[in-house]
Amino acid sequence: MITELLLTIVIISFVIFYRQRRQQMAVFKEMGLPGPEPNFLFGNLLYFLWRPLYISFQNWCKIYGKTYGYFEGPTPVIVSSDLDFLHEVFVKQFKNFHARKVYPVQVDPDHDENVHMFFARGERWRRLRSIVNPAFSTSKMKDMMPTINKRVNELMDIVEEKRMDNKHFDMYELFQRLTLDTIADCGFGLKSESLTSKDDVCLQNCRNVIKDTTKRPILFMLGFVFPSFHSLWISIYNILRYISFNPVFWLEDNMARIVKERKSKKASRVDLLQLMVTSEFDPTAKTSEDDADIIDSVVKKRFLTNDELTAMCLLFLLAGYETTSTTLAYIMYEMAVNPEVQKKLQEEIDENFPDETEQPDFHALTKMEYLEMVWCETLRKFPLASTVVARQCMEPSKVQGIDIPSGMIVQANVWDIHYDPKIWGENPEQFKPERFTTEARKNRHQMAWLPFGGGPRTCVGLRLAQLEGKMAIVKLFKKYSFYPSKKLDIPMVCQEGATIMPKNGVQVNVKLREHR
């Protein structure tokens, strides 16, 4: 009798759940948007088991057109490569689309004390961003040049050892070591010596954090399929801390210690942490994107709390290390397989930096047009952080005649945009820096190039990444020429993790330049 009763309850609950899901998943049909047929439990998530997101988006675009919808569990996501549509969402109607996508295992963006800028939304985000923005100003970047230069010189010593060995080596791995030491140093004085010691514990833990999401696929899948149990997934994730070693918590504990020490002493160094400790938020200041409406006690605080500082430092460490090294790796790949471009870049470097032993001058760096064109074209071909370029609708909105309900996600289909021949001309697979002459840029849509995202929530670390990346490129190509080794993947093979990265590194050979 009890068994029959339980069975009936289970069947009735399943039928209610099934009907609810089907109703939720009718939303795109009601909106008149095409898209792949979802499964009632997983939505379209199973499609991603066999192929990365950025490839899936391109496949679906071929079938359903520039703007379509799919489901992550029950959560509806609009994907678009329509530039005017994206401009409305990311720029013009930012006040309705100020939030990012909420991931299954992340802090609560509205209530947790230790939310960082990447996940925060509304007024919380505005406060964090206005405190952080000054730390990335041009003058602060100039102050960081000696530290970056010191680290690049350490990289040069390793490349010299590799040259003497006369064997091929992986430049991606070296760039990861460079960018970790640089952000640790420029960021908060964290002891990271990964350039001089390959087994540096900080480097190992950063690498493991990047891999961490792939280590807990079941928890992540459950989070996507049943998003309403968000607090449960977070609790399980936190409990796992005591069962198995989690590198995120190792880094967090170290950051918390550094923050505490810094606040208790008079500062002797200028770095991102110090700038955040002293920077103050003025709650009465208005910006154009100011009326998002989460007002609470945290928002009124003028200075960042210890928890917030710790979360921000961890964010900068991971964002600064992974993205910049991957960009440098792709630049190295393109230079090795395009020797004529490499030569042209070296000529520009020779003109601007006659003395290879000196620290590159800031103004000369920003004046180098060809270097800028190479940087932009690399990020066009490899927009490695494309999957985070998304916004959540916070108020019912109308975009290009489409009614978007609150809660819906809008994801930019960056790879399709970056490979659209109508925007970039014939053969977008080809590496052609000339696509970024001043003239060509002037005539292009604001949303055509999105490696750093778009609108008020665009990447805050762009200047730092550019400065560090360009200093490394100038010094390396001033002294050396790089060639593809037999082990280099041509064409490049990418894999999707936290970013879209070279699967087998960038295997090159190096020689001293003859005429420098």
Among the residue ranges 24-32, 43-51, 457-465, 489-497, the one whose residues contact ligand HEM (CB under 6 A): 457-465
What's the min distance (Å) between Cβ of 449 and ligand HEM? Answer: 11
Residue 25 or 131: the one with the smaller Cβ distance to ligand HEM is 131
Q: Does 465 bind ligand HEM (CB under 6 A)?
A: yes
Residues 80 and 66: beta-carbon distance below 8 Å: yes
| Residue 242 to residue 245: CA distance in whole angstroms | 7
| Residue 114 to residue 108: CA distance in whole angstroms | 9
Measured at the CA of 388, the angle between CA 387 and CA 392, to 5 degrees, comes to 115
| Residue 468 to residue 144: CA distance in whole angstroms | 9
Q: Which residues are annotated as a binding site?
A: 459
Residue 25 or 501: the one with the smaller Cβ distance to ligand HEM is 501
- What separation in angstroms does the CA of 94 have from each of 77, 292, 392, 399, 401? 17, 9, 10, 12, 17
Residue 74 or 109: the one with the smaller Cβ distance to ligand HEM is 109
Residue 25 or 368: the one with the smaller Cβ distance to ligand HEM is 368
What's the min distance (Å) between Cβ of 452 and ligand HEM? Answer: 5
Residues 10-69 that bind ligand HEM (CB under 6 A): none
Rg (CA), the chain: 24
- What separation in angstroms does the CA of 179 have from each of 77, 93, 132, 182? 33, 35, 20, 5
Residue 98 or 435: the one with the smaller Cβ distance to ligand HEM is 98
Among the residue ranges 160-168, 329-337, 396-404, 459-467, the one whose residues contact ligand HEM (CB under 6 A): 459-467
Instruction: Specify the DSSP element, H or E, that contains 71.
Output: strand 67-72
- Candidate residues 131, 222, 276, 319; the one interacting with ligand HEM per rule CB under 6 A: 319
What single-letter amino acid sits at 245?
A: F
Among the residue ranges 146-154, 201-209, 225-233, 313-321, the one whose residues contact ligand HEM (CB under 6 A): 313-321
Residue 36 or 454: the one with the smaller Cβ distance to ligand HEM is 454
Residues 179-208 that bind ligand HEM (CB under 6 A): 183
Residues 118-157 that bind ligand HEM (CB under 6 A): 118, 129
- Candidate residues 35, 76, 122, 454; the one interacting with ligand HEM per rule CB under 6 A: 454
> How many chain residues are in contact with ligand HEM, going by CB under 6 A?
26
User: How many Cα neighbours within 13 Å face the side chain of 399?
Assistant: 29
User: How many Cα neighbours within 13 Å face the side chain of 54?
Assistant: 23
Give Cα 152 to chain centroid, integer Å: 23
Q: Does 460 bind ligand HEM (CB under 6 A)?
A: yes
Q: Does 225 bind ligand HEM (CB under 6 A)?
A: no
- Candidate residues 189, 223, 360, 451; the one interacting with ligand HEM per rule CB under 6 A: 451
What's the min distance (Å) between Cβ of 66 and ligand HEM? Answer: 19
Instruction: Specify the DSSP element, H or E, that contains 142.
Output: helix 138-143
What single-letter amino acid sits at 43?
A: G
- Candidate residues 83, 464, 494, 501; the one interacting with ligand HEM per rule CB under 6 A: 464
Q: Does 324 bind ligand HEM (CB under 6 A)?
A: yes
How buried is residue 344: exposed, middle or buried, by Cβ count under 10 Å (0-12/13-18/19+)? Answer: middle
Nearest-10 crossing angle of helices 306-337, 201-215: 90
Per-residue DSSP letter, 101: P
What's the min distance (Å) between Cβ of 377 and ligand HEM? Answer: 14
- Candidate residues 457, 470, 478, 479; the one interacting with ligand HEM per rule CB under 6 A: 457
- Candidate residues 60, 71, 316, 382; the one interacting with ligand HEM per rule CB under 6 A: 316
Q: Does 234 bind ligand HEM (CB under 6 A)?
A: no
Q: Would you state the structure tokens that stand for residue 392, as one six-digit string?
A: 């959540």
- Candidate residues 315, 373, 374, 408; the one interacting with ligand HEM per rule CB under 6 A: 315
What's the min distance (Å) between Cβ of 80 and ligand HEM? Answer: 14
Site string for ligand HEM, 385-404 (x = CB under 6 A): x--xx---------------
Residue 144 or 488: the one with the smaller Cβ distance to ligand HEM is 144
Q: Which residues are annotated as a binding site for heme?
A: 459
Q: Which residues make beta-bridge pairs with 500?
A: 496
Q: Would you state the structure tokens that stand for residue 61, as one six-digit string?
A: 């675009």
Phi and psi torsions of 182, nearest 5°: -70, -50
User: How many Cα neighbours within 13 Å face the side chain of 429?
Assistant: 3
Residue 118 or 424: the one with the smaller Cβ distance to ligand HEM is 118
Q: Would you state the structure tokens that stand for residue 259, as one six-digit string?
A: 């923050």
Q: Does 320 bind ligand HEM (CB under 6 A)?
A: yes
| Residue 113 to residue 401: CA distance in whole angstroms | 38
Q: Does 411 bind ligand HEM (CB under 6 A)?
A: no
How buried is residue 218: exposed, middle or buried, by Cβ count under 10 Å (0-12/13-18/19+)? Answer: exposed
Residues 69 and 76: beta-carbon distance below 8 Å: yes
| Residue 129 to residue 119: CA distance in whole angstroms | 11
What's the min distance (Å) between Cβ of 118 and ligand HEM? Answer: 4
Residue 148 or 345: the one with the smaller Cβ distance to ligand HEM is 148
Q: Does 446 bind ligand HEM (CB under 6 A)?
A: no
What's the min distance (Å) between Cβ of 447 and ligand HEM? Answer: 11
Q: Which residues make beta-bridge pairs with 411?
A: 79, 390
| Residue 386 to residue 318: CA distance in whole angstroms | 16
Residue 117 or 225: the one with the smaller Cβ distance to ligand HEM is 117
What's the min distance (Å) between Cβ of 30 and ligand HEM? Answer: 28
Q: Does 327 bind ligand HEM (CB under 6 A)?
A: yes
Q: Would you state the structure tokens that stand for residue 236, as one six-digit string?
A: 């399980």
Q: Which residues bind ligand HEM (CB under 6 A)?
A: 117-118, 129, 183, 315-316, 319-320, 323-324, 327, 384-385, 388-389, 451-454, 457-461, 464-465
